[in-house]
Copies of this chain bind each other. A is one copy, B any other.
Amino acid sequence: MSKVIVLSDAEVEKVLDEKSVIAAVEGAYRQKSDNRAAVWPMVFYEFEPGVADMDIKSGCLEGDNIYGLKLVSLHVKNKEAGLPELMGTTLIFNMKTGEPEALVNAGYITKLRTGAAGAIGVKSLARKDSKELFVIGMGAMVPFQIAATLISMPGIERVTMIEPVNPEKSAGLVDGIREIVDTVMERSGIRRTAVLEGISSMEEGVRRSDVIITMTPSRKPMIQKEWVKPGTHLSCVGSDMSGKQEIDGHIFENARVFVDDLEQAVNVGECEIPIKEGLFDKEKIVAEIGDLLNGKVKGRTSDEEITIFDSTGIALQDLTVAALALRKAKDKDMGCVVEV
């Protein structure tokens, strides 16, 4: 008989802030680099390709004394029934005893930890004097990319964004995103000073930016190499499945490339297609981001260099943030305790 704490999405939202999540995700990347964490093989199953599937990502983190898994399901037809298309559930266990400790809704955590990932790439690899951020994608994950990046890079003055499928709608979507960005930043005790703008020209967005974050489910490159200014950093966050690609593979040719997990990046990340097309060699991946955070490798080597962080999303992000939510919920006596 174990006591398990169950945390709903609303409870997670009450206890977590993006700034703490960034620190937790950095900690997970560092533990991985120190061999104090492991990512286990992903289980993926398609009930009906593109319509219904599920994946189980799992792993362990010594520093958090946990192991566990996140199961994410996609059921496109849920829309008709008024249910979310994507649902995620995280289950964590005590690493020393194997006891189940918490069942946590993974929805809000996924947004926070994915935002943290993009921002950690920016903070570690972008030029310190970066002022212009361009975000491709205007979906539910995007406000968290923006908030996390503004928290990590207070020098950013303007964020432009584009809805790549319907670029003419970009301007109209900004207000909704701004509201969430402001809320997320305020919960971290930080007031936004950057201007947020929606634009309709992909080329213009790329040409004027110091930092680019891609956060879409695209399966074909949306930006061309010749648009990218020297010194630009790109955090590619959308590609997390074989066949997905957001940026021109040629951008990899002279870029300094980091990943969250070597195996995942090569198989399902933004690196996948450039490698398969022979435009990039996996041996040229400098390192996993945790090695950079731990000072084992050098990040950006010049102000002219293009840098890329290929963030595929690893279980350790979800697990460390679920553990953080659990600790905070316990402190505040929140969550439902059940015996299992």
Contact = CB atoms under 8 A, between A and B. Distances in A.
Interface of A: 1-2, 4, 6-10, 38, 40-41, 43, 45, 47, 52, 54, 56, 58, 60, 67, 69, 71, 73-75, 78, 81, 83, 87, 89, 91, 93, 95-100, 103-105, 336, 338-340
Given A40-B43, A338-B6, A54 B98 contact: yes
A87 B2 contact: yes
Q: Which of A7, A69, A104 has the most chain B CB atoms inside 10 A of its CB?
A: A69
Given A75-B98, A338-B338, 9 more contacts: A4-B103, A6-B339, A43-B58, A54-B93, A54-B98, A87-B98, A103-B103, A103-B338, A336-B339
A97 B81 contact: yes
25 contacts: A1-B105, A6-B339, A6-B340, A7-B340, A8-B339, A38-B45, A40-B43, A40-B45, A41-B43, A43-B56, A47-B95, A54-B67, A54-B93, A56-B69, A71-B93, A74-B98, A75-B96, A78-B98, A83-B99, A87-B98, A87-B100, A91-B103, A103-B103, A103-B340, A104-B340
A338 B74 CA distance: 22
A67 B56 CA distance: 12
Contacts of A2: 87
Nearest to A45: B40
Q: Count the copies.
A: 2
Secondary structure call for the A interface: strand
Select the residue from A7, A75, A87, A340 with max chain B CB neighbours within 10 A. A340
A284 B8 CA distance: 51
A75 B65 CA distance: 14
Contacts of A69: 56, 69, 71
A328 B335 CA distance: 26
Contacts of A340: 6-9, 89, 103-105
Nearest to A69: B56
Contact of A1 (B8, B60, B78): B8
Contacts of A58: 43, 56
A45 B60 contact: yes
Contacts of A100: 87, 89, 103
